[in-house]
Structure 1
Amino acid sequence: MLDHCSIVHKGGIVLWSRSFTPEASQLTSSSSSPVNSLIRDALIEGRVAEEKYEKGGYAVKWTFVNDLELIFVVAYQRILQLTYVDDLLGALKIVFVELFQPFLAAFVASLHAISSSAVVLSMTEATRWNFENALEGWDIAFDKLLKGLENKAAEDRKLRLRPAARPPPTPSPGSSDVDLLPTESQPGTVDEQQIARNVEALKNRLRGRGGTRAPGRGRTRKDPRNGRDSHPNSDSDVAIKHKQKGKVLRRWGDELPSESEMASLDFSYEKLSDQDHHPASNDLEALVDEASRGIRNKDGLYEVRDWEFTNDKAADDVIARALSGSYKESKPAQGSLGTLGSLFARFTGSKVLSEDDLKPVLEGMKQHLMKKNVAKDIAEKVCEGVGESLVGRKVGGFQTTYATVRLALSNSITHILTPKTSTDLLFSIRAKLMSPLTSAQQRMPYSITFVGVNGVGKSTNLSKVCFWLIQNGFRVLIAACDTFRSGAVEQLRVHVRNLSMLSVGGAGDSEGRVELYERGYGKDAAGIAKEAIAYGRDNGFDVVLIDTAGRMQDNEPLMRALAKLVSVNNPDKILFVGEALVGNEAVDQLTKFDRALRDFSGAGTAVAKGRGIDGMLVTKWDTVDDKVGAALSMTYVTGQPIVFVGTGQTYTDLRQLRVANVVEAILSD
């Protein structure tokens, strides 16, 4: 068992460390720790050729990554014979550098740019660089790597201790008849039909050798098919009997089942329990992912979980290659510092950046953004802004130029994605519900309209938002204003039934907190929405969620009908629902929806003049991995924030975006 493992920069900064025992944790914090002794006695004195260092009952091994100035250290009790330590050090170096090389390159470049002493450098950089966030996910990758090597070492020990297996006995030439019968020593299973054929074949052989026949056996009969003699128990008869048997009705008893017995065997989704009129618990479990439920904050409100970018697939692939030994260690090339790394190879000395210097860099940056699903026009504008901020800046060498350009791109993306308006939907709802009223006024519910093209998941994600609102104690009315698509009203009816039966926050079911307002098909959607808001006002509902029919952004009559719904009802929030998969098409959809609403909603009325999209809900976010450029494109076009993203098929698969997570995904290689 290991006692300690750490990754340290040669300047003295500890990037990551872990102690596996309390004793090792105390030792690493003292001046007599084996790691500190290693640095003092071996590394500083230049004794780097040694393979192992021993101190106070501990054995310490290490390895270097010279290009990044990193030291990987492992300490364990020297009495133990840990055969996998060398493999662990090699695999650690490979996996860590592969996963975090862009960050490490920028970190080392910043250290070279500082000309202060080593002591001041360590204190300054340790506080400025947030290693915990930058190396997020490394603990999980390390655990997988360590567990894989430990299991591999355990298997090797078992193989060494296992006695040599004796070869199976060779059957004698006369044992062929006996081999026809299955025995317990033979591997595998034999079905009944095969056993019957073997038995019949064995009997026929015994008859041919003059074996003893039972009385009345051995007579022949004419085969009705061809008139030839055949044995009554031949293989053909067995096959005929098996073929003629056919499918037989299974009877479980002498009497037919009663109605109560049939009801107990009815497991259909519509079946309700006789006791509580709720569906089976298995059905409810399929609707909610407990691990994805909202987090209750200090104010007692449920918050939607953050979407976190994790490159688990890439990490697992690197770990698998490191464990299998198929990953060969090689010197990191300049291009491996990132997608743009190879473009900085010619920056060898200190110089002032010009437009000609940045032209190939910005082109490579644009290609990288487009691979991340950023629209081409927007990628060009982002790169132009980055170029303007870099022209005339003085940089020194490959590493600092790479770090400077990467930081400029990160700042540009962060500026675009930072919301210009509040994304706190709960605050907006509570502010309206708690606003003072005059004696002649009635409390109006907070209304949210969901718009978008066909098939993007408006109704499904509306239901996710509804569940989140129910979690926070609001009474929600869903208005079925999609009066065109067949099954739209029935779909919402199923969602409302499901939501009314779910347990919310341990407070029992949510029956009475959600209701559907529908008037069938072929009606005016604007009128139904107006009636639903009035119904919600009169019956004490807090929020009205308005579902609209999907429509293409170029269909002017349908866009005018949608603008009419907006102008007549003036909803508090208009959310555009778009897909994360469509890339540039999402920009076209969003632009034309926003323009149509602004152009048509103010026609002939001043109530909702100039209303446009207030925010976005991006669906199927879990299908794009790190290609999250649609978020950048959609936010750039409208200047409005992405309020939620949909990440799955249950009511809890709703997430909110943090700018830092999106930037990390876009800049990842």
Structure 2
Amino acid sequence: MLDLFAIFTKGGIVLWCFQGTGLTITRAVNSLIKTVILQERGGVGYYEHESLKLQFKLDNEFELVFVVAYQKILQLCYVDKLLQQTQLLYRDKYKNELLQGSTAIQLLLDVTTSSYHDFTEQFQYLLNQLEQQVKLESLQPRAMRQYTKKGDDGKGITPVASVHNNGVEDVDTGEDPNDVDVDTNVDQSERQKPSLSITSKGSARTLGGGVRKVAKGSKKTTSSLSKSPKATNQIKPVKQARQWANEGSSKDKEKYDCSDDVTSGELPVQQQASSSHVTKGSMSGQLRPLEQKQGQQQEEEEVKRSTTGGLLSFFKGLTGGKTITSDAMKPVLDKMTDHLIAKNVASDIVDKLCQSVAAKLDGKVIGTFSGVTATVKACFEESLVQILSPQKRIDVLREVLLSKQQKKKPFVITFCGVNGVGKSTNLAKVCFWLLDNGYRVLIAACDTFRSGAVEQLRTHTAHLSALHPPQDSGPPNVQLFERGYNKDAAGIAMEAILYANQQGFDVVLVDTAGRMQNNEPLMTALAKLISVNSPDLVLFVGEALVGNEAVDQLTQFNNALRDYGGGGASATPIDGILLTKFDTIDDKVGAAISMTYTTGQPIMFVGTGQTYTDLKSLNVTSVVTSLMN
């Protein structure tokens, strides 16, 4: 039994609704609109919310959405057909009204005056027909499946021999079994011998003779090879060293040798420039976004000039439109699939994106002068911008201030991820950013597994303390809290938070050990650390170099933290993403799309280098432009 069938516009106006039960479906439909339709995730065609399953179909010509909701335990098999036939019935019945382009107020007046009352009767009739058809099909006996196999040539299909008589196959040889050979002149032993022959150049010879001849020939060849004289006085070639294109020569040694510049207590010129790059106060305020390349800006301006304004837009309004079909979009989507995969987007995410774009454009009417390729590309750009734009904005500086003033406790940030992605290094970058904005930071060394993890954080703390020394012999602005190795990470984090609260620290940065996403004991320990200490922000640190692996890592981390931490089915423990090594990928920025699409959480920080100031915020326009060009 259906719980709900609703028809509403993409603007949010409900045109018609049929409710089969008394359950409230408002939350489920709102969640569908918020997390699927508005986030460009409509390629799958269904959405599960608690115990309900919602299937939907988009009508792009009239900007309508058809939604049916039912209990997912029922497994109704006629829902797809019901959606399709209801869409056709509704379009045919109210085509004139929809083509007139009624305003929102007129549509609301139509609903209040019950102009769609007769459509309810037609829908119930259609629903009863489909339900009765399913019942009749379930009562009819199923025909036994006929197993067939292909012939030797791969073209003909012959029936498989029936098996009987204790598993012995009765193979049809084309002869009558009643026919008995009564020829007694032929010896039975000769009759049983197979007549094997080898055909060579049109002449037949027996197998035994052929084998003997081949054996003799091979004997001659081996003997002739063994008697062949060895080659003498051969000069072995000397392997030459490979010359690389940018290898340089010995003449360039003086150019790059800076050892003579080191005098008493002075650094070389290059090191002085790099050390002066990290200065106090250089990252105060919000993080700066990624710089957009000049070529990308010029391409965007050209696209805007070609698509907006001018005489062409005037002709678009005068000419008739054409409808986009799935067949017309298929070659464009195939090329776009190869292009996005080459840009390092995960293949599963590319398939879902293509399905979403196809569902959004199927049946849409475009102008005569508009091409299918340009329309599909523009739709892809809109979808990518919508995916990368965060659903909720997390202002870390504001949250730290509110936690300090209202909650009277430090703001806790936990860093987690797989091995070798740069958690400790980027934790130091975030610490430098917070110190530049006047906050006191405590670093909790909860990586008690990797050798050298505590020493690495101790070195970073010393450097950060030198860059941000305490004022007037006051308390330190940054401090390391560590208890050594082979200790409980959750207990160390708890002690660090209590210590930070007592000493008046504003932020606690918790560094965790790197772990693979399929390591169940380590994932359970991480879930314990997060569930016991309840950090305000959980950041997943991922590399910008990975493609399909990013989806697997983020999905399993999120599922493990949710399952082992006792969260509900809809809980999302990971609050944001820190994307590292972004300066090494050029325009292959697909990992950003893969990670954001998987959990829907924003990319809050982007690591772009090795210094403390190499921390940026994500520039959505720049990433989308790099993906599409």
TM-score, length of structure 2 as denominator length = 0.51
Deviations 1:533-573 (A, max 9, x none): 01100000000000000000000000001111111111111
Instruction: Sort the Cα spacing of 1:427 and 1:444 in 2 relative to 1 into closer, same or farther, 3 A.
Output: same
How far does residue 399 in structure 1 lie from its aligned partner after superposition?
5.2
Partner of residue 286, structure 1: 274
Give the partner amino acid of 1:286: S
Partners of 1:420 and 1:552 in 2: CA distance = 28
The question of 1:375 aligning with 2:332 is answered: no
Distance 1:424 1:561, change over 3 A: same
Aligned partners of 1:351 and 1:395 also within 8 Å: yes
The 1:283/1:448 distance shift into structure 2, 3 A limit, reads farther
With over 3 angstroms needed to count, the CA separation of the structure-2 counterparts of 1:428 and 1:306, relative to structure 1, is same
Alignment check: 8 A CA contact 1:470 1:510 kept:
no
Question: Partner of 1:516 in structure 2?
Answer: 480
Amino acid at match of 1:303: Q
Alignment map for 1:354-393 (pairs within 5 Å): 354-393=325-364
Q: Quick one: structure 1 residues 368 and 282, their matched pair in 2 at CA, closer, same or farther if it must change by over 3 Å? A: closer
- SS of equivalent residue, structure 1 residue 544: strand
Q: 2:458 matched to which residue of 1?
A: 493
Instruction: Check conservation: 2:544, 2:589, Cα contact below 8 A.
Output: yes
SS in 2 for 1:434: helix
Q: Determine the structure 2 residue equivalent to 1:648.
A: 609
Kept in 2: contact 1:309–1:664 (CA 8 A): no
Distance apart, 1:660 and its partner CA:
1.8
Once residues 590 and 296 of structure 2 are traced to their aligned partners in structure 1, the CA distance between those partners, rounded to angstroms, is 19
What is the deviation of 1:408? 0.9
Counting only pairs closer than 5 Å after superposition, residues 343-422 of structure 1 correspond to structure 2 as 351-396=322-367, 400-422=371-393
Change (3 A) 1:445 1:492: same
Q: Amino acid of the residue matched to residue 345 of structure 2?
A: V
- Partners of 2:440 and 2:507 within 8 A in 1: yes
Do the aligned partners of 1:503 and 1:509 also contact (CA within 8 Å) in 2?
Answer: no
Which of 440, 446, 452 matches 1:481? 446
Q: Does the C-alpha gap of structure 1 residues 291 and 512 become closer, same or farther in structure 2, counting only changes over 3 Å?
A: closer
Task: Between the two structures, name the one with larger relative contact order (CA 8 Å, sep ≥ 6).
Answer: 2
SS at match of 1:303: coil
Give the deviation of 1:471 after TM superposition.
Answer: 0.6
| Mapped contact 1:294–1:305 kept (Cα < 8 A) | no
Q: Indicate the residue corresponding to 2:218 in structure 1.
A: none
Report the alpha carbon displacement of residue 295 of structure 1 after superposing the two structures with TM. Answer: 5.7
What is the aligned counterpart of 2:586 among 625, 629, 635? Answer: 625
Is this contact kept in 1: 2:280–2:436, CA < 8 A? no
Contact 2:388 2:620 in 1 (8 A): yes
Query: What residue number does 1:244 align with?
Result: none
Match of 2:404 among 433, 438, 448: 433
- Out of 429, 433, 441, which is 1:468 matched to? 433
CA RMSD in angstroms, aligned pairs only: 3.4
Q: How many Å apart are 1:363 and its aligned residue?
A: 1.2
Distance in 1 between residues matched to 2:272 and 2:492, nearest whole Å = 31
What SS does the corresponding residue of 2:479 show, helix, strand or coil? strand
Matches for 1:167-566 after TM superposition, within 5 Å: 286-287=274-275, 289=277, 294=282, 296=284, 302-310=285-293, 351-396=322-367, 400-435=371-406, 443-502=408-467, 512-566=476-530
Question: In 2, are the aligned partners of 1:369 and 1:666 still within 8 Å (CA)?
Answer: yes
Contact 1:309 1:665 in 2 (8 A): no
1:339-371 C-alpha deviation (Å, 9 max, x unpaired): xxxxxxxxxx96321111111111111111111
2:538 paired with 1:574: yes
CA contact (8 A) 1:602 1:611 kept: no
Matched residues in 2 for 1:409 and 1:509: separation?
57
Taking the aligned partners of 2:371 and 2:572, their CA distance within structure 1 comes to 46
C-alpha distance 369-666 of structure 1, shift in aligned 2 (>3 A): same
CA distance in 2, matches of 1:507, 1:631: 40
Helix, strand or coil for the counterpart of 2:406? coil
CA distance in 1: counterparts of 2:272 and 2:512, whole angstroms: 27
Instruction: Give the equivalent residue in structure 2 for 1:256.
Output: none
Deviations along 1:321-351, one digit per CA (max 9) or x if unpaired, are xxxxxxxxxxxxxxxxxxxxxxxxxxxx963
Letter in 2 for 1:393: K
CA–CA separation in structure 2 for the residues paired with 1:519 and 1:393: 63
User: What's the offset of the Cα at 1:507?
Assistant: 9.2
Q: How does 1:53-64 map to 2 (within 5 A)?
A: none
Deviations 1:631-668 (A, max 9, x none): 11101100100010100000000010132222112112
Contact persistence 1:621–1:645 (CA under 8 A)? yes
**1:52-75 CA distance string (max 9 Å, x none):** xxxxxxxxxxxxxxxxxxxxxxxx
The one-letter code sitting in structure 1 at the alignment partner of 2:411 is Y
Q: In the superposition, relative to structure 1, how do residues 583 and 401 fare at CA in structure 2: closer, same or farther (>3 Å)?
A: same
2: distance between equivalents of 1:541 and 1:481?
A: 18
Question: After superposition, where does 1:22-37 map in structure 2 within 5 Å?
Answer: none
CA contact (8 A) 1:576 1:615 kept: yes
| Contact 1:292–1:652 (8 Å) recurs in 2 | no
Amino acid corresponding to residue 539 of structure 2 in structure 1: L
Summarize deviations over 1:95-124 as a string: whole Å, max 9, x none. Answer: xxxxxxxxxxxxxxxxxxxxxxxxxxxxxx
Tell me which amino acid in the other structure corresponds to 1:460.
T
Instruction: Give the SS at the match of 1:652.
Output: coil
Sequence identity, in percent?
A: 54
Deviation of 1:595 (Å): 0.5
Give the letter for the 1:660 counterpart. Answer: T
**Offset, 1:303:** 1.6
1:345 aligned residue: none
For 2:531 and 2:378, how far apart are their aligned partners in 1? 44
Distance 1:290 1:312 in 2: 29
Residue identity matched to 1:384: Q
> 1:515 aligns to what SS in structure 2?
strand
For 2:448, the aligned partner's letter is T
Other structure's SS at 2:499 match: helix
Deviations for 1:217-246, whole angstroms, at most 9, x for unmatched residues? Answer: xxxxxxxxxxxxxxxxxxxxxxxxxxxxxx
Q: 1:570 to 1:529 in 2, by over 3 A?
A: same
| Cα contact 1:287–1:651 (8 A) shared by 2 | no
2:576 to 615, 632, 641: 615
Partners of 2:276 and 2:556 in 1: how far apart?
35
Rounded to whole Å, the distance in 1 between the matches of 2:356 and 2:399 is 34
Which letter does structure 1 place at the counterpart of 2:602?
P
Q: Which amino acid aligns with 1:476?
A: V
Is the contact made by 1:500 and 1:511 (CA closer than 8 Å) also made in structure 2? no
Q: Distance in 2 between matches of 1:508 and 1:397?
A: 73
Say if 1:461 and 1:487 are closer, same or farther in 2 by CA, change over 3 A. same
What is the SS of the residue equivalent to 1:380?
helix
Letter in 2 for 1:616: I
Aligned-pair distance for 1:265?
Answer: 5.0
User: Which secondary structure does the structure 1 equivalent of 2:573 belong to?
Assistant: coil
Matches within 5 A, 1:86-165: none
Aligned residues of 2:404 and 2:506 also touching (Cα < 8 A): yes
- Whether 2:595 is the aligned partner of 1:634: answer yes
Structure 2 letter corresponding to 1:450 = F
**Which of 621, 624, 627 pairs up with 1:660?**
621
